[in-house]
Amino acid sequence: MKFRSHLRPAFQVLVLSLLASCAPAPANAPRDYEPELWQAGKDVVWVPMASERVEKMLDLAKLTPADFVVDLGSGDGVTVIAAARRGARAMGVEFNPDLVTFSKRQAQRAGVADKTEFVQGDLFQADLSRASVITLFLLDEINLKLRPSLLALKPGTRVLSNTFRMGDWEPDTTETARSGCANWCSLYLWIVPARVDGTWRSSEGPLVLKQQYQKLGGALGTGALAAPVLDGRLNGDELRFTAGGAEYRGRVKGELIEGTITTGGGIRLWKATR
């Protein structure tokens, strides 16, 4: 196509640009990468997590804009992007560099690139120190390998998994889709417990706590007068148990527990040191 000579050069450039944008791409032009269902990865195959399940997972976490989410094995980035849409900052760790690039592109399109980051790397080597929420859609055996690192996180950190569990570390909350869900229908929440196993000194006598994840047993007092610790449980750094007919509640602050004792005679302050 030829243009008359009296057309202004700037106008000619504009028309040529419009024509070029309408022209079909060459047959051999490179296409943007798109992930494929069941494609192989380093530790797991890739299966997308349904958006409804993602939103339910974030609801279960009680996600707030103050949270920092780390999604291990972030795949196509949907969980990271969904968290960012709720105002949280979020990071995805993914071994496949193509998926990392794809996720960054999707975050840009969703308008949340400023709240997200995607790191190409091994999920077992990831820096989890900033996380208040960890999300997973992996396998039981991978969750078990991750478990020591997760238990070492700050008490109160929420760990969520689609379908796959943590061995004998029982979840604090389970949610199963009631209908309309064919696969990957259960969500699990664990709250990282404070570490309280051992002997503590208290005004009520020595307190020996035996901890299995968020569950507590043990004894309060000495000798024949020692009362068993019953119904003991941790919710992050919040502790509660009963002993000798009294209810003990407290907050764990490193080597100190401070809280209250409730008995038939009322409520009084209580503390224990390790």
Whether the pLDDT of residue 270 is over 60: the answer is: yes
What's the predicted TM-score (pTM) here? 0.84
CATH for 198-273? Answer: 2.40.128.30
Find the mean pLDDT for residues 68-78.
96
Query: Angle 97-101-106 (CA atoms, 0-180°, nearest 5)?
Result: 145
pLDDT per position as a tens digit, 23-71: 444 444 446 777 666 566 666 776 778 888 999 999 999 999 999 999 9
Q: What is the mean pLDDT of the chain?
A: 88
- Over pLDDT 90: what percentage of the chain? 75
Q: Does 51-191 carry CATH code 3.40.47.10?
A: no
Q: What radius of gyration, in Å, describes the C-alpha atoms of the chain?
A: 27
In this structure, the chain runs to a length of 274
Please report the sign of the dihedral spanned by the C-alpha atoms of residue 101, residue 65, residue 213, residue 53.
negative
* Strands annotated E in the chain: 68-72, 89-94, 116-120, 133-136, 158-162, 173-176, 186-191, 198-202, 207-212, 215-220, 227-228, 230-235, 238-243, 246-253, 256-263, 266-273
Are 142 and 166 spatial neighbours (Cβ–Cβ below 8 Å)? no
Q: pLDDT tens across 204-218, in order?
A: 899 999 999 999 999
All structural domains of the chain with their residue ranges: 51-191, 198-273
At 107-151, the pLDDT tens digits run 999 999 999 999 999 999 999 999 999 999 999 999 999 999 999
pLDDT of residue 25: 44
